[in-house]
Amino acid sequence: MRTLHTEKAVDLYNGAVACYWRGDLPDVLEMLKNAVDPASIILRARAFRRLEQDMQTVASLERHRSASWEDRFKAEALVTAASALTRLNRIAEAKLSLEGAWRHSLGCHSVGLNLELLNCESLIHFAAQDLESTKKFARLALAAANNASSLRYFVPLESSKALALEHLALVAAASGSYRKQAAYAEAAIDTLERGATFDAWRHVFILETLSSTLREIDLEGNARFVAQRVDRVGPGTSLQGARVNILRSMCHRQLLLARNQSARDGLNGIADLPAKTPIRIQAILDGVLVNEERALSPKSVEALDRAERLSSQITWKDVGECRLVLLTLARELSRVSTKRARRALQTYEAISTPLTPTLLANFNSRRSAEEAHAWGFVFRAEGQKEQAVAKLQEAFEAYDAVGYRWRATLAAVELAELTGSQYFGNFAMKEADVRPNSWLARRVHLSRIRVARGG
């Protein structure tokens, strides 16, 4: 017989589940903070995981997991822990946790649980940069999901299928196959939108990842796909930062194609929207970057001052991948003060917490290219020509190798001015010709570069 107490507990859990799928993750934590049943404990850990509070995910499960739990709960807890451990770069522990989850899953006969385990296998291999194994397990998960008609499991079928597609998209992006990445990502989003239970957080997360790629790569049709869906992002409290980041990426992309005052205004407005401070800083720096004049305007200098003030309010060791904004800050500050630029770089280099290994920035020298690019600007501003050329060439080669053309162009302009190389000058001019009405073209044409055609 259900008591009033158990009815309240069930109602509370069901309310937390609704918040979880809607993207109100802090509400999940608040609603379940005193819960002691296994389903609630695991849901709370899942919320921590989506909030990127991976240490709390692991600690919460270690503290509350009980030997008396049924195997299905033990398996679900262990796979949730394995996912968090992977993001923490504790790969050996993640593998052990996942092995335990597989053992406890044997008697459960749960397709949904097996899908989650296969997707976790795929994630672990991606973190280890084993792309072939990542694809293998993602495809196994996708095949199993396609053969299942419905699930009696916490994670909906459509969410498991979308996650497998997301992993295939990440493999494609890491390999430089951006059209394949976009195709997989769009298929994942379409799958989520057809689900009976809409996973709002995963939906916006995949959109955010895709928009970040579109900021770097010219894929017009895929950009329209994102633009059509960004307004569908729900009001969930944990979704708004990602929504702002998507808008930032799309505004920047529009300005790479042509002069667009609404996109410029959009970047300026993002700095005042509800989002993580590093995202607001990045929007400010994007606004400075797309300045079409050779010298910084007083308005741009004022914006840099604001970005630097905001950066001083952040405990950078706790922000994860957002730390990369410090490199952009250093690069732009080098145009007004090498001392301030070095201070930003020193803050970046003092962060001892490793980046999560599942970030695309860790693949194919993307992150080291950003580091080299920032140092190249600082060395040039300090008059250290040899060091500047070495760092800028390192950045150029890495950007060019992964197809990040506008970033490669910025490095090429600096190299052409420093060395007089017509190779770098021609590269920059050709990219300007592709985007004749963009801020990038204006930057190239205002630069002091020599090109073979007599520019």
Run of H or E residues at 150: none
Banded model confidence at residue 103, pLDDT cuts 50, 70, 90: very high
The one-character DSSP state at 437 is B
Distances (CA, A) of 216 to 50, 62, 213, 401, 448: 26, 41, 5, 13, 25
The whole-number average pLDDT for the span 114-136 is 97
The whole-number average pLDDT for the span 162-167 is 98
d(CA 44, CA 40): 6
pLDDT in tens, 341-363: 999 999 999 998 888 899 888 88
d(CA 342, CA 282): 18
1, pLDDT greater than 50: no
Identify the CA nearest to 80 among candidates 106, 98, 96, 107: 98
Distances (CA, A) of 130 to 79, 174, 177: 20, 11, 16
Distances (CA, A) of 163 to 185, 231, 307: 10, 22, 35
Banded model confidence at residue 292, pLDDT cuts 50, 70, 90: low
Could you tell me the residue ranges of all domains in the chain? 1-109, 276-362, 384-455
Residues in Cβ contact with 383 at an 8 Å cutoff, skipping those fewer than 6 apart: none
The whole-number average pLDDT for the span 22-30 is 95
Distances (CA, A) of 297 to 288, 293, 417: 9, 8, 21
**Share of residues in the chain with pLDDT > 90 (%):** 67
Identify the CA nearest to 187 among candidates 208, 164, 204: 164
409, pLDDT greater than 80: yes
The whole-number average pLDDT for the span 131-157 is 93
Query: Could you tell me if 182 and 219 are in contact, meaning their C-beta atoms sit under 8 angstroms apart?
Result: yes
The whole-number average pLDDT for the span 443-450 is 84
Query: Could you tell me if 124 and 108 are in contact, meaning their C-beta atoms sit under 8 angstroms apart?
Result: no
d(CA 93, CA 435): 48
Q: What are phi and psi of 136, to 5 degrees?
A: -55, -50
The pLDDT value given to residue 400 = 95
Run of H or E residues at 438: none
Query: Could you tell me if 89 and 354 are in contact, meaning their C-beta atoms sit under 8 angstroms apart?
Result: yes
Lowest mean pLDDT: which of 159-168, 246-255, 286-295, 350-359? Answer: 286-295
pLDDT in tens, 215-261: 898 877 788 899 888 877 877 788 888 888 898 899 888 888 887 78
The whole-number average pLDDT for the span 278-287 is 89
pLDDT in tens, 57-75: 999 999 988 889 999 999 9
Average pLDDT score, the chain? 91
The domain made up of 1-109 is a member of CATH 2.60.40.420:
no
* pTM reported for the whole predicted model: 0.92
Banded model confidence at residue 2, pLDDT cuts 50, 70, 90: very low
pLDDT in tens, 362-391: 888 889 999 999 999 999 999 999 999 999
d(CA 26, CA 44): 10
The whole-number average pLDDT for the span 47-59 is 95
Identify the CA nearest to 105 among candidates 66, 73, 147: 73
Three-class SS of 337-352: CHHHHHHHHHHHHCCC
4, pLDDT greater than 60: no
Range 406-412 contact pairs with CB under 8 angstroms and sequence separation of 24 or more: 406/216, 406/256, 406/431, 406/435, 406/440, 407/216, 407/369, 407/373, 409/440, 409/444, 410/373, 410/440, 410/443, 411/373, 411/376
Estimate the share of the chain in helix, then strand, then coil, as percent rounded to the nearest 5.
75, 0, 25
The pLDDT value given to residue 275 = 72
d(CA 378, CA 361): 22
The whole-number average pLDDT for the span 179-184 is 95
Q: 3-class SS at 164?
A: helix
Banded model confidence at residue 5, pLDDT cuts 50, 70, 90: very low
Query: Could you tell me if 409 and 428 are in contact, meaning their C-beta atoms sit under 8 angstroms apart?
Result: yes
The pLDDT value given to residue 450 = 65
Question: Tokens 């708004």 correspond to what residue?
Answer: 240
The pLDDT value given to residue 451 = 62
